[in-house]
Structure 1
Amino acid sequence: MLFKSKSVPRVYRIFFDRNYAIKISGSAVAASQKLGNLPLLKVPPPRILKEHLDDYVIGQDIGKKVLSVAVYNHYLRINDKHRKLQLQRKREMLNREQEQKKDDENEPIVASSSESQAGLKNLQSQFEFDLSKVDEDLELSKSNVLIVGPSGTGKTLLATTLAKVLDVPIAITDCTQMTQAGYIGEDVQVCIERLLINADYDVAKAERGIIVLDEIDKLAKPAASIGTKDVSGEGVQQSLLKILEGHKVELTVKRPVKISKDNNNNQATSKKDESFTVDTSNILFMIMGAFIGLDKHVKARITKLQDNSKSSGKSSEIDNSQNLRFSNKVEEIELQNGKKTCALNLVTPSDLVTFGLIPELIGRVPIITALEPLQKDDLYHILRKPKNALLDQYEYIFQQFGVRLAITRNGLDHIARLALAEGTGARGLRGIMERLLLNINYQCPESGVSYVLINEKTVESLQQTKYSLATNVDAKYYSEEQKDKFLHDVYTEDELLGVQLKKELAGNAISEKSY
């Protein structure tokens, strides 16, 4: 409490008051951090964010631009909100100082202090300067993002990469596991709980994180189910509305408090229930889904608009979309200028309502972007180009047991063609690589094999059978003594790869010799 008693000399009262003010200031900062008011987050401009995404995600230029701008503006909004809170604190402190000055007018010691008067004047000018740059009455709206795209096009990878670049926590929740309150399954608040856990139970960090709601299209309620009980559809959409818009949510989470070991040396973790209040107004929600069949709805709508005679008819188009609903191929639409585009690029909120999402949910997600199906060239570059590329991963695995794996460019191109035929996007590449390398990985460790060459003929031997791709392939194996033959065969198949391997193996020989 502040010293107001006249029995205490004024000089000492000033000293005590200032010390108390310092303590008040420190506790206020701690409290504000619990409410999510961390220091301003430095966010790279959108073009730099996109460059980071380019390092990990192949293609999808439009989607990456939309997400870069959306994320940049979202954190600008958070920083603007933070600055206004800081201004509010400065105003309160300035008001206290002015009130204190009035009380001190009859105090000769303080009234004659030019230092305190200069400090107060400096504080006033600084506050007026900061106030001139901020519109206190203007409040920026929250903008969540909806990402539409086929499976394997990079939706989740984009979100996790952005969280890594910004160094903010992220939580990914599958909407198919959510049910209405009172039913067996996960409550909608589980996404906030996971974000809080990933933020090490720091509410401030969690309130600046990213929540991904995956498979949101599985919550769509088809028209045929109207009037039936909908445990994990429209009811869950209704439950998501408040947290998407931004409300304070109270959670009770079991938090680890002590780690110990039992008599059998097994690790045991003690947990206790702890309550948290998380404000979702600063959390960026990324809603995503494959929306299988949505492209057929869009094409039917566009075709009807373009067809002046209306000869195609609405009913026939809808029947056709139902028949093609589970096709992997995404429809293309020819525009009036003759160019073709993916139908998902023309998705509107009305299309999403037709698909089965409620208008209230769509209204809380103003930014909608689509990821296009990956083409063969995209799949080829995914194997080689990005950081953490698939080819680099498998080469590293083989290095662990002393084998240099080499796959020619023609071989990689054939792998991309197989993945494109499967229609499962980038995820299909890993499945093909696993089947291609299964027997090779089985044979090589501790067998005397030092080099393995996979070319286009090897990949072609991965023939499609009645049930699945076969696992027996005709790879070429070389011992350490056959290094020159290995280099010759690689150079014959792929000149650039041969030059690269020659330099690499020559460098390894020099380093081993010097060692």
Structure 2
Amino acid sequence: MVKICSFCKEPQKDGVKFLINDKKDAYLCEQCVDMAYEFIHGGENKDVDISNLDNESIKHITPKELKDVLDSYVVGQDRAKKAFSVGVYNHYKRIFKQNDVKDDTEISKSNILFIGPTGSGKTLMAQTLARYLDIPIAICDATSLTEAGYVGEDVENILTKLLQAADGDIKKAEQGIVFVDELDKISRMSENRSITRDVSGEGVQQALLKIIEGSVVNIPPKGGRKHPNQEFIQIDTTNILFVCGGAFDGLNEIINRRIGKNVLGFNQDKRTKKENSNLTHLVESDDLVHYGIIPELLGRLHIIATLDELDKEDMVRILTEPKNAILKQYEKIFAIDGAKLKVDEEALLEVASLAIKRKTGARGLRSIMEEIMLDIMFDLPELKGYDVVITKDVVDGKEKPILIKQDILSE
């Protein structure tokens, strides 16, 4: 079996010695041993940047591996997960492997735009891959941003958040991910350029151009407004992956008009809700320009991935299947107090139906479950040795949970 260094992830090569622990499940190559010795005892490598060793694991990832990780946490959205996996893979291949092929061709950065309803998994995908790759991520809400000089947050504060996520390590921050949520909320007021200042719409989009494209940006180290007496930190955004997301409510009507479907009137074609949601997959750049996103910004968001609205079956899967599924979390909470939680299939379907009615997507499932579980969790410490059964009537508030005494108490 080929030994792989547990620290830098490099496989053993001929002539390279490995340090092995007693259990023979962890290995350290001689290069990492030397670097650790120098780091601790001083010498020429005392200030060596050991954070770059994490890059070795990123170098060996594949799109399939990334999608498998996303499949463990995000239900459905196969097309978007593939697009995101390929985008992240190509991005880090561009950073770490571009010089493997010796020629004059330079690979450009491919930023990503997610379009999908609220609670469909846009933010979760970015968080999941950032956690898996152990890279810093900054998630910000575009609605709080304004053009420089006006009340609100400066666009550069996004990079301050990224630097804070990287624990102040500038090199690590320059290889991180920035997720700008609610991009649709900063669409300009009309297709024509406004005579008055649109400081929280078009102004923010113009300010985003510089940092998304790739440039050296001066940022205030502690966030807040720029002041002349502050010392700025310079961050190069060339290798930062920007992922933008938004629900883009009303985009389907714009697509409808483009493909020649009547939006209003007696002769409009009757389509199901699912067919209407699938129209988002037909989105083109012109549709987003009509929506209010400026062409210059769209030109810097090269990959457009659309997400489907979640149906009832998807909601039930979200409750039960992912690694950190909501139901699994509640089962663990009950197990800690010596009780066992059982939720029947009809109850799960009812919870899913309520989430769809509220139009809050997957994130609405948690609040519904909290409402259902509140009273029973209040009494949970006294329910050791009981099975707690949740039925459809419990979800509807017609009955209380069924308590069944276990025959044998688990130790």
Q: Report the TM-score, using the length of structure 1 for normalisation.
A: 0.64
The answer on whether the counterparts of 2:157 and 2:220 sit within 8 Å (CA) in structure 1 is no
* Distance (Å, rounded) in 1 between the aligned partners of 2:83 and 2:399: 43
Matches within 5 A, 1:6-405: 41-81=58-98, 83=99, 133-135=101-103, 137-223=104-190, 226-254=194-222, 275-304=232-261, 312=262, 316=264, 332=275, 342-405=278-341
Aligned 8 A contact 1:149 1:291 in 2: yes
| Alpha-carbon distance, 1:438 to partner | 1.8
Which sits farther off after the overlay, 57-66 or 423-432?
423-432
State which of 400, 403, 406 in structure 2 corresponds to 1:477: 403
Whether the aligned pair in 2 keeps the contact of 1:408 and 1:455 (CA below 8 Å) is yes
| Alpha-carbon distance between aligned partners in 1 of 2:384 and 2:122, rounded to the nearest angstrom | 42
Residue matched to 2:36: none
Partners of 2:339 and 2:383 lie apart in 1 by: 10
**Structure 1 residues 320-373: Cα deviation after superposition (integer angstroms, max 9, x where no partner):** 9xxxxxxxx96625xxxxxxx711111111000000010000000111010100
Following the alignment from structure 1 to structure 2, what is the Cα–Cα distance between the partners of residues 330 and 160?
29
Correspondence for 1:441 among 354, 359, 377: 377
Gap change, CA 1:254 and 1:409, over 3 Å in 2: same
- Is the alpha carbon distance of 1:361 and 1:407 closer, same or farther for their aligned partners in structure 2, counting shifts above 3 Å? same
Deviations 1:120-179 (A, max 9, x none): xxxxxxxxxx7xx411x1111111000000000000000000111211110001110101
Counterparts of 2:177 and 2:280 in 1: how far apart (Å)? 24
Q: CA deviation at 1:429?
A: 1.0
Letter in 2 for 1:277: Q
Larger radius of gyration: 1
Residue 240 of structure 1 and its aligned partner are, at CA, apart by: 0.5
* Structure 1 residue 275 displacement after superposition: 3.8
Q: Secondary structure at the match of 2:178?
A: strand
The one-letter amino acid of 2:253's match is K
**2:391, 2:377 → 1: CA distance?**
16
Q: 1:38/1:392 Cα in 2 relative to 1: closer, same or farther (>3 Å)?
A: closer
Alpha-carbon offset, residue 422 of structure 1: 2.3
- Structure 1's unaligned 5+ residue stretches are 1-25, 84-129, 256-271, 305-311, 321-328, 334-340, 463-471, 485-504
CA distance in 2 between partners of 1:300 and 1:400 (Å) = 56
**What is the alpha-carbon root mean square deviation over aligned residues?**
2.8
- Distance (Å, rounded) in 2 between the aligned partners of 1:330 and 1:195: 39
Provide Cα deviations, 1:411-440, integer angstroms capped at 9, x if missing partner.
Answer: 212222222222221012112111111221
Contact 2:59 2:93 in 1 (8 A): no
CA drift of 1:401 comes to 3.0
Structure-2 separation of matches of 1:473 and 1:177: 43
Secondary structure of the residue aligned to 1:303 is coil
Give the counterpart letter for 1:240 in structure 2.
L
What amino acid maps onto 2:185 in structure 1? Answer: K
Deviations 1:287-327 (A, max 9, x none): 001111112211222234xxxxxxx4x8x58xx9xxxxxxx
TM-superposed deviation, 1:38:
8.3
Counterpart CA distance in 2 for 1:440 and 1:157 is 29
Is residue 425 of structure 1 aligned with residue 361 of structure 2? yes
Q: Do the aligned partners of 1:295 and 1:330 also contact (CA within 8 Å) in 2?
A: no
One-letter amino acid of the counterpart of residue 483, structure 1 = Q
The residue identity in structure 2 corresponding to 1:56 is Y
Distance in 1, Cα, partners of 2:384 & 2:111: 56
